[in-house]
Amino acid sequence: MKKVRTLYIYVCMLGLATLIGCQDNLYHSSFQDLPQQRWDNQDTISFSIPPSEEDLDVFFTLALRTSSSFKYKDVVMCIDLLEGDSIIYSAPLDVLISDNTRQTHSDFMYHECYSPRHPLRMKSQVSYTVRLTHAMRLNPLERISSVGVFVEKSDSAKR
């Protein structure tokens, strides 16, 4: 009887872990570590987004991981979004840094930075690239450990 109950508990824990770990909206995520926690404005950080099998409406969210002593409230970045080899979106972004306490790590804080108001239409079987540079006057930016991108399917894409 004890073995059955223990097995039942393990199965329930496995099911719960699976439900917690699954984010069906998340299409792709990637972070790139910065050497010596420095981001020079000549350094372009690129993220390759894998092609999807079907057309998708997606949101891009950019993120920074910084030390707790990061001294800026916002970061000006330049973003280029490429479809294949063609730039389809290019703009400067004034990104507000806010502490996301749900994602606090021991020495680093996770900061969400940018997400557009409208989803982007990703065409099937087409590769996309996100390129980022910072446009801050102080160069290099110190105490940034990594830069990341999250690609999430919009609610209208879940059918």
Of 84, 78, 50, nearest in space to 134 by CA: 78
Tell me the CA distances in angstroms from 114 to 3, 14, 18, 71, one per residue in order: 50, 34, 28, 19
CB neighbour list of residue 52: distance below 8 Å, 6 or more residues apart: 27, 122, 124, 125
Q: Would you say residue 106 has pLDDT above 60?
A: no
Number of neighbours of residue 30 by Cβ within 10 angstroms? 15
Give the distance between the most distant pair of CA atoms in the chain.
68
How large a percentage of the chain has pLDDT more than 70? 69
CB neighbour list of residue 156: distance below 8 Å, 6 or more residues apart: 57, 119
Any idea of the CA torsion for 26, 32, 33, 38, to the nearest 10 degrees?
A: -120
The whole-chain average pLDDT of the chain stands at 76
The reported pLDDT for the residue numbered 4 is 67
DSSP characters over 11-49 = HHHHHHHHHHH--TTEEEEEEEEPGGGEE-TTPPEEEEE
The reported pLDDT for the residue numbered 157 is 46
Query: What are 68-102's pLDDT values in tens digits?
Result: 677 777 788 888 889 988 998 888 877 766 655 44
Q: Would you say residue 104 has pLDDT above 50?
A: no
The reported pLDDT for the residue numbered 78 is 87
User: Looking at the domain 25-157, which fold is it?
Assistant: Jelly Rolls (2.60.120)
* Every domain of the chain and the residues it spans: 25-157
As a whole number of Å, the CA-based R_g of the chain is 19
The reported pLDDT for the residue numbered 49 is 92
